[in-house]
Amino acid sequence: MARKKVTIVGAGATGGAMAQRLIERDICDVVLQDDPQFAGTMHFGKALDESQAAAWEGFNHRISATDGWEDTANSDVVVLTAGAPRKPGMSREELLNGNAAIVRAKAAEAAKASPNAVLVIFSNPMDAMCHVAMKASGFPRERVVGQGGALDSARYRYFVSDAIGVSPRDVHGYVIGGHTDTTMVPVVSQTRVGGVPLTDLLPADKVQALVQRAMRGGAEIGELMKVSSAYYAPSAATIAMVEAILMDQRRLIPCSVYHQGEYGIRDVFSGTVCQLGEGGIQRTFELPLTDEEREKVVAAAEATKELLNLITE
């Protein structure tokens, strides 16, 4: 049986954390791909460092690094984390088009090396970068999926569990819509704690406070860390998606998918609950929403369409 392979493009803090979480699951070989112009030899160092953990962590699969694409060939999944943070004085359009150029180039190379792979997009602005990656790769809808909702939902579930005093594993709630602090939509109406509606357990003002904190989850961590953004929870959310695809787990995870009628939305990436397994997205699920939640989901898709109008080829 051929060994499975996952390539992680971008070996920064998040890419490195993803590589560590994945190789220690011992379900596939892992390749860290990066550009020496930006990463130097960091990706080689991280791969070697983690390789030396094998004796104690007990994994037998191989983690390696490369500047090129030959070693990534025939990957089952390629995770794109590459992109630049916004710098002082940089406009949103400049950041958008700078990252679009990076994602466009990386997605095209990844598709050439691994024409049957599933692309998992982490680069920001994530929903818009999914469009860039799908066009550059030529992949079908099912094999291009954005990570945002998995992370946003994990944050939401943690805040709910902390407020009520239960395990996050027993909180079932989804964040859909866009992956920004103004366009994500925590679906309160369908949030359950051990089967009990969240709105039966907490007063409306406390529920709204949890929603607002979840929407600012990344910003709060950035403010606390000062010199970097979050990478532990983002890596966990992404690798849960990768594992579901590799192992055909058919898990239901909120992801960004190219909508073709969900919530009346078409031809744009936005978040909803997806079944992830072999081949990528196997099904999508349209949650029952209140009128207010539905309006916010539609508005999130429209906001992504506005971003797409700013992208130049």
Q: Which of 61, 131, 179, 259 is catalytic?
A: 179
| CA–CA gap between residue 62 and residue 48 (Å, rounded) | 10
Query: CA 197, 201, 202, 207: dihedral to nearest 10 degrees?
Result: -20
| CA–CA gap between residue 203 and residue 127 (Å, rounded) | 33
131 is an active site residue: no
SS3 content of the chain, % helix, strand, coil (to 5): 50, 20, 30
Residue 209: helix, strand or coil by DSSP?
A: helix
* Matching residue, tokens 């359950």: 192
Cβ atoms 99, 105 nearer than 8 A: no
Q: How far is CA 38 from CA 11, 41, 63, in A?
A: 10, 9, 20
Bridge partners, residue 17, by sequence: none
150 backbone dihedrals φ, ψ, rounded to 5°: -65, -45
Could you list the active site residues? 179
